[in-house]
């Protein structure tokens, strides 16, 4: 153990990661140390790595396929990464709880960078798929590490200040990713879409190693729940494959999909049984006894469902129906992302100043339902200004929810469970995104193909493109076929967003059951309010 880590262990309140004399969960007055702000900058770089990668790589995929071949296996470049990320997320969170967050987080960055370097050196599609899986293993620890370390550094009451920063990083990744990916691929080659992670990751590694000092954990005798980790990995993998393959690679009633569903359910049932018996479960079930934590998991799942669906279909609608260029596809989401960033910042500041937050899940869920309902009304005559306003409403709803769900979830678990609490919330959001993309995508594609098949002739030929025609390709079609295709896409968009609005209603109802438990640490206390003891959480059951 280094001298600085020993000092941090002896006087955690004075460490860069401390939060005053009572430790990470305790109350604090006065400005935070400058070193904490430096750590936050490094954490935001790591968060950017996790979110930017898929955006950049997605733009480079046509070039990658052109050089490496293997078009039939193209989907696995994305699926391997998503599977590894989802399956490893809870494991990284638990390892951080057991052995200390700093070392585990640094290890996840190193794994991610190794996977990035290997992916850039891949010589065929099989190698690329395997190396993307390695990269995904590391990515599973990046978001969880960022959220859990912020949970250690900053009490929930103070954490709202930084929501705008995190929302800004997300917006930067979604807007800048496709632009950066296209520029890198055109001027440096597709391999640099992976190599670009190396300097960013190196900066994050150096800054975190030098500045982050958290209280050391002496839990080396704890045993890892290998059986639980294995069962959870099988269950998550089966779920992701069902949502990825169902209705596209295989029919929903095919033997492959049914076998995956059976395997997934059996593995998750076995996982729950193991978690009830093991001493150090990967996902302690007692965290779900807290009403707020369970509700935030549900709302996070629904937010992921809606957000990934919106990000998938809005650019497609604007390209196919409104004639926008695919080159600047990230800019098409600007109204939604800017609205999300501004609202997240305002909600965070209000939460920090007042300690109140229950109204935000209610407002966020309500605006999300309204935004999706408005987007479902778009047709071939909807202007870009009108669709931009609709996106801004949806973005405001997500802005109220994106960080508040994590803040309330972390406030609902004990400090010793901060890692698994953060990873569980992240996992539910990830799985929600997987379900959203799959279910809304299947509905969208079926409606488009149904509409096109009714017309026959040249219009039916466009249906074979599976709703992937861009503005340039559409311009080459006969006018009748083009108008028919645009009508079909708007019909598919209507169906997808109507489903999203119906799903979001569940989150709106769930938000009313959130109990406003005082946030730990920071800010003045209300009359009669007593701070939570360090490591203990007021129950919202």
135-139, 225-229, 287-291, 311-315: least confident range? 311-315
Ranges of H-type helices in 154-211: 156-159, 163-187, 192-195, 197-211
Angle at 241 between CA 236 and CA 243, to 5 degrees: 100
Residue 160 pLDDT: 65
29-33, 249-253, 506-510: least confident range? 29-33
Residue 461 pLDDT: 54
Comparing 102 with 181, the larger pLDDT belongs to 102
Cα separations in angstroms, 18 against 139, 213, 215, 254:
26, 8, 8, 54
Structure tokens, 430? 């990830």
Among residues 474, 441, 367, which one has the least CA distance to residue 75? 441
* Neighbour tally for 279: CB within 10 Å: 7
50-59, 155-164, 424-433, 495-504: least confident range? 155-164
Comparing 340 with 505, the larger pLDDT belongs to 505
CA 43, CA 469: separation in Å to the nearest integer? 38
CA 446, CA 492: separation in Å to the nearest integer? 8
Q: Is the pLDDT of residue 509 over 90?
A: yes
Q: Which residue has the tokens 């196919």?
A: 320
Q: What average pLDDT does range 71-78 have in this prediction? A: 67
Among residues 195, 197, 81, 67, which one has the least CA distance to residue 125? 67
Top mean pLDDT of 284-298, 300-314, 452-466, 508-522 is at 284-298
| Dihedral sign computed on CA atoms, order 273, 276, 280, 281 | positive
| Residue ranges of domains in the chain, CATH in brackets | 32-212 (1.20.1250.20), 226-282 (no CATH), 283-517 (1.20.1250.20)
Residue 457 pLDDT: 52
Residue 157 pLDDT: 67
71-75, 138-142, 251-255: least confident range? 71-75
CA 246 to chain centre: 22
pLDDT tens digit sequence for 296-329: 999 989 888 887 777 777 877 877 787 776 556 5
64-73, 281-290, 446-455, 465-474: least confident range? 465-474
Comparing 4 with 410, the larger pLDDT belongs to 410
- Helices then strands, counting H and E runs in the chain, come out as 20, 0
CA 93, CA 424: separation in Å to the nearest integer? 8
Structure tokens, 497? 């967003």
DSSP conformational letter for 337: H
Instruction: Identify the band that residue 446 occupies on the pLDDT scale cut at 50, 70 and 90.
Output: confident
| Contact by Cβ (8 Å): 128, 68 | yes
Comparing 76 with 404, the larger pLDDT belongs to 404
Percent of the chain as helix, strand, coil, to the nearest 5:
75, 0, 25
Cα separations in angstroms, 455 against 52, 458, 462, 476:
40, 8, 11, 18
Q: Is the pLDDT of residue 343 over 60?
A: yes
Residue 470 pLDDT: 54
Cα separations in angstroms, 319 against 198, 316, 387, 522:
33, 5, 13, 47
pLDDT tens digit sequence for 164-174: 677 777 777 77
Q: What average pLDDT does range 36-41 have in this prediction? A: 77
Residue 12 pLDDT: 36
Q: Is the pLDDT of residue 90 over 60?
A: yes
What pTM does this model have? 0.75
Percent with pLDDT over 90 in the chain: 13
- Gyration radius of the chain's alpha carbons: 23
CA 336, CA 398: separation in Å to the nearest integer? 9
As beta bridge partners, residue 246 has 250
Comparing 257 with 73, the larger pLDDT belongs to 257
Q: What average pLDDT does range 22-50 have in this prediction? A: 62
Q: What average pLDDT does range 71-77 have in this prediction? A: 66
Q: Is the pLDDT of residue 528 over 60?
A: no
pLDDT tens digit sequence for 366-393: 999 999 999 999 888 888 888 889 999 9
Instruction: Identify the band that residue 6 occupies on the pLDDT scale cut at 50, 70 and 90.
Output: very low
Percent with pLDDT over 70 in the chain: 77
Q: Is the pLDDT of residue 5 over 60?
A: no
Instruction: Identify the band that residue 476 occupies on the pLDDT scale cut at 50, 70 and 90.
Output: low
Q: Is the pLDDT of residue 292 over 60?
A: yes
Q: What average pLDDT does range 513-530 have in this prediction? A: 60
Long-range Cβ pairs for the range 238-243 (8 Å, 24+): 238/263, 238/264, 238/267, 239/264, 239/431, 239/434, 240/79, 240/82, 240/83, 240/86, 240/431, 240/434, 241/79, 241/83, 242/438, 243/434, 243/435, 243/437, 243/438, 243/439
Structure tokens, 221? 């005798």
CA 438, CA 436: separation in Å to the nearest integer? 5
Helix pair 384-401, 334-354: axis angle to 10 deg: 30
Q: Which residue has the tokens 């406030």?
A: 411
* Neighbour tally for 99: CB within 10 Å: 19
Structure tokens, 432? 């929600």
CA 144, CA 140: separation in Å to the nearest integer? 7
H or E stretch at 87: helix 74-99
Q: What average pLDDT does range 530-536 have in this prediction? A: 41
3-12, 156-165, 219-228, 481-490: least confident range? 3-12
pLDDT tens digit sequence for 183-242: 777 778 788 888 888 998 898 888 888 887 776 665 556 677 788 888 888 888 888 788
CA 204, CA 82: separation in Å to the nearest integer? 23
CA 354, CA 519: separation in Å to the nearest integer? 10
Angle at 360 between CA 354 and CA 363, to 5 degrees: 140
Residue 24 pLDDT: 39
For the chain, the average pLDDT equals 76
Structure tokens, 408? 């309330």
Residue 111 pLDDT: 93
68-72, 101-105, 210-214, 256-260: least confident range? 68-72
105-109, 470-474, 489-493: least confident range? 470-474
Instruction: Identify the band that residue 477 occupies on the pLDDT scale cut at 50, 70 and 90.
Output: low
Instruction: Identify the band that residue 414 occupies on the pLDDT scale cut at 50, 70 and 90.
Output: confident
Residue 279 pLDDT: 77
């Amino acid at each position: 153990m280094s001298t600085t880590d020993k000092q941090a262990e002896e006087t955690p309140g004075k460490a860069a990661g401390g939060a005053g004399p009572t430790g990470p969960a305790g109350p604090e007055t006065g400005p935070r140390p400058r070193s904490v702000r430096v750590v936050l900058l490094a954490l935001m770089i790591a968060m950017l790595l996790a979110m930017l990668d898929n955006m950049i790589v997605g733009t480079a995929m046509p070039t990658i396929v052109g050089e490496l071949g293997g078009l039939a296996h193209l989907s696995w470049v994305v699926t391997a990464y998503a599977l590894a990320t989802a399956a490893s997320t809870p494991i990284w969170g638990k390892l951080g709880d057991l052995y200390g967050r700093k070392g585990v987080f640094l290890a996840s960055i190193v794994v991610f960078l190794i996977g990035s370097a290997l992916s850039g050196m891949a010589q065929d599609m099989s190698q690329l798929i395997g190396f993307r899986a390695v990269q995904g293993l590391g990515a599973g620890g990046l978001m969880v590490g960022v959220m859990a370390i912020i949970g250690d550094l900053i009490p929930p009451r103070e954490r709202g200040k930084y929501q705008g920063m995190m929302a800004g990083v997300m917006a930067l990744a979604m807007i800048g990713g496709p632009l950066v990916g296209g520029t890198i691929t055109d001027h440096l080659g597709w391999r640099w879409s992976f190599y670009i992670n190396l300097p960013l990751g190196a900066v994050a590694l150096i800054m975190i190693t030098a500045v982050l000092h958290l209280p050391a954990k002496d839990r080396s005798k704890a045993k890892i729940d290998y059986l639980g980790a294995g069962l959870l990995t099988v269950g998550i993998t089966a779920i992701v494959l069902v949502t990825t393959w169902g209705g596209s690679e295989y029919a929903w009633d095919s033997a492959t999909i049914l076998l995956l569903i059976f395997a997934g359910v059996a593995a998750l049932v076995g996982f729950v049984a193991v978690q009830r018996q093991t001493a150090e479960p990967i996902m302690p079930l007692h965290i779900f006894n807290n009403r707020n934590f369970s509700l935030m998991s549900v709302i996070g799942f629904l937010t992921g469902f809606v957000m990934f669906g919106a990000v998938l279909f809005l650019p497609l609608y604007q390209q196919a129906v409104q004639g926008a260029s695919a080159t600047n596809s990230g800019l098409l989401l600007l109204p939604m992302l800017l609205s999300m960033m501004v609202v997240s910042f305002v909600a965070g500041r209000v939460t920090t100043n007042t300690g109140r937050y229950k109204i935000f899940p209610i407002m966020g869920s309500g605006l999300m339902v309204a935004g999706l309902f408005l987007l479902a009304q778009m047709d071939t005559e909807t202007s870009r200004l009108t669709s931009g306003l609709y996106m801004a409403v949806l973005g405001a709803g997500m802005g109220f929810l994106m960080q508040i769900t994590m803040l309330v979830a972390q406030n609902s678990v004990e400090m010793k469970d901060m890692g698994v609490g953060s990873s569980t919330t992240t996992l539910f959001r990830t799985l929600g995104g997987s379900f959203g993309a799959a279910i809304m995508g299947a509905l969208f594609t079926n409606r488009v193909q149904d509409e096109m098949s009714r017309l026959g002739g040249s219009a039916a030929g466009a249906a074979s493109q599976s709703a992937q025609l861009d503005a340039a390709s559409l311009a080459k079609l006969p006018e009748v076929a083009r108008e028919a295709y645009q009508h079909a896409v708007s019909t598919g968009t209507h169906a997808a967003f109507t489903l999203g609005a119906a799903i979001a209603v569940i989150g709106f109802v769930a938000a009313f059951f959130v109990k406003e438990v005082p946030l730990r640490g920071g800010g003045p206390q209300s009359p009669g309010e007593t701070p939570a003891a360090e490591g203990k959480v007021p129950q919202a059951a």
